Amino acid sequence: MKSLRFRYLYSFRFWSSMTAVNIESKEIQPAIISYVKDLPNICSLAGLACTVLAIYFSIIGVYYAAMIGMIWAVAFDWADGLVARRMKGRTGSDRIFGGQLDLVIDIVSYGVTPAILLISYGKFDPIFLPAAFVVLAASAIRLSYFSTFGLSDESKYTGLALDNNSIALVFIFLLESLLPNAVFAIILNVSALGLAVLNVSQIKTPKLSGNSRNVFLLACYTFGITAIYAWKLL
């Protein structure tokens, strides 16, 4: 009888303590919006804002403005990582949340945006839908693979990182004014498909965004591309 009473008392205390832990964890769980004040996340959201502009201008056919939005999305994407590595006092949950936010934004910036660009430049002809799907699917597969396995043993990416797609596409788009629309539409789609193949390939590519010198070079490239397309808009 004493044994049963002891077991009951032990079980009651155990479940009471577990309930208290669960209640406490719920109470200390930070508010969702609290992560917005984290500077790296602000950079990520600024990049998302640039992506929204790129999508908008792609849809209405102002492609030069869309190119500016696309390259600035990359710039903010690189900036958030640089800022995060140099900030002190960030908790583990801050880093996990920031990493997840990056992945979600990347699928929009480097998957949805170029897919919309291809469809829009093709005058929304259904013939361009397969290429848009491949680009979007490759980006989703690439990000899922990276979130599962991370960097390779040599501190390199497996497959071409998605941010390189936007860097390449905004440069390729400089040919747009030199070629007939139909010809350039083919070049744009073939280029995007080629990049998609590289995204899911087994090639090893260096992590460019982790180097301060590369960030400086991207900043110069961003300002240069912005100046060129701003001049074209005028």
**Under a CB-based contact definition with an 8 Å cutoff, are residues 154 and 204 in contact?**
yes
The answer to whether residue 75 sits within a structural domain is yes
The answer to whether residue 13 sits within a structural domain is no
Question: Helix 92-107 vs helix 39-60: angle between axes, to the nearest 10 degrees?
Answer: 10
Residue 71, domain extent: 35-233
The answer to whether residue 60 sits within a structural domain is yes
The answer to whether residue 92 sits within a structural domain is yes
The answer to whether residue 191 sits within a structural domain is yes
Residue 54: its H or E element: helix 39-60
pTM of this structure: 0.84
**Distance of alpha carbon 116 from alpha carbon 210, whole angstroms:** 29
Query: Residues 98-122: pLDDT tens digits?
Result: 888 999 999 999 999 999 999 999 9
Query: Residues 161-217: pLDDT tens digits?
Result: 999 999 999 999 999 999 999 999 999 999 999 999 999 999 998 888 767 788 899
The answer to whether residue 189 sits within a structural domain is yes
The answer to whether residue 4 sits within a structural domain is no
- Position 37: which residue type? K
CATH of the domain at 124: 1.20.120
> How many domains are there within the chain?
1
The answer to whether residue 175 sits within a structural domain is yes
